[in-house]
Structure 1
Amino acid sequence: MWSPTLLTGVALGGMLGALARYALGAALAPLVLKSGFPWVTLLINVSGSFALGLLSALALRGTVSPEARAALGVGFLGAYTTFSTFSVDLDGMLLRGDTLRAGAYLLGNVGLGLLAALAGRVVGR
């Protein structure tokens, strides 16, 4: 279960997921600054939910090896998505009294994330 291949895959996947998240955040930073809304975190969490739903469906079909699932799911997507940033962003909106945006952000991350995971699973079938 804890083979060197599996651990290396998770480590490399995590590195690439973190780099992808950083690059997307840097590329979209002007949008966030202009709008004051954490679009990057929302986009990352929804796209990551879709990708993990797809990966899970493919794994259930047996088309993805356990090593690839660990590298992509735990490694890449674990580093790419970010529940902690979502939580801090939401807390900041609530502290500023921006309840309408906070509600939209909460529903966007949870609702769209769930829909994206379901869509990924359907596509994976």
Structure 2
Amino acid sequence: MNWLLVAVGGMIGAPLRYLTDRAVQTRHDSRFPWGTFTVNVVGCLVLGVITGAVTAGAASSHTQLFLGTGLCGALTTYSTFSYETLRLAESGARFSAVANAIGSVAAGLGAAFVGMAAAEALWQ
């Protein structure tokens, strides 16, 4: 049963990542990977909320498997983030590469913290 929750969550998260990435990226006329940045930060926020909800007893471990492991696992993408950062650096956009690396990590950690804090405020 657990594997099915993860699989179904992933089946939702993967196309959601693609569609969100395309929608965000088409609105920006730059080489900076705003679409990947967006899905990764949103995924960190959602995972923070889910983890906080599970910790507070407001959500089940099945919810965590479905939304956290499945949906967020497929929604977010470390490999694409790494590739796009490398591509920026190789093309001479070194400032953008460094900004992407530092900004993505900082924003992701911040989003996860905000998500957990919000869950804690809601359910404790």
TM-score (norm 1): 0.91
- Match for 2:108 among 83, 104, 113? 113
* Candidates 10, 13, 18, aligned match of 1:14: 10
Q: Which runs of 5+ in 1 are unaligned?
A: none
- How many Å separate the matches in 2 of 1:39 and 1:29? 6
1:69 maps to which residue? 64
Tell me how far 1:26 sits from its aligned partner.
2.5
Determine the structure 2 residue equivalent to 1:103: 98
Deviation, 1:63, is 1.1
Q: Counterpart of 1:31? A: 27
Unpaired stretches in structure 2, ≥5 consecutive residues: none
CA shift, 1:28, in A, is 2.4
Rounded to whole Å, the distance in 1 between the matches of 2:26 and 2:19 is 13
The 8 Å contact of residues 31 and 39 in structure 1, kept in 2 or not, is answered as no
Displaced runs of 4+ in structure 1, greater than 4 A? none
Query: 1:46 is paired with a residue of what secondary structure?
Result: helix
- Cα offsets for 1:76-125 (capped at 9, x unmatched): 00000000000000111111121111111111110011100100010000
Matches of 1:112 and 1:22, distance apart in 2: 20
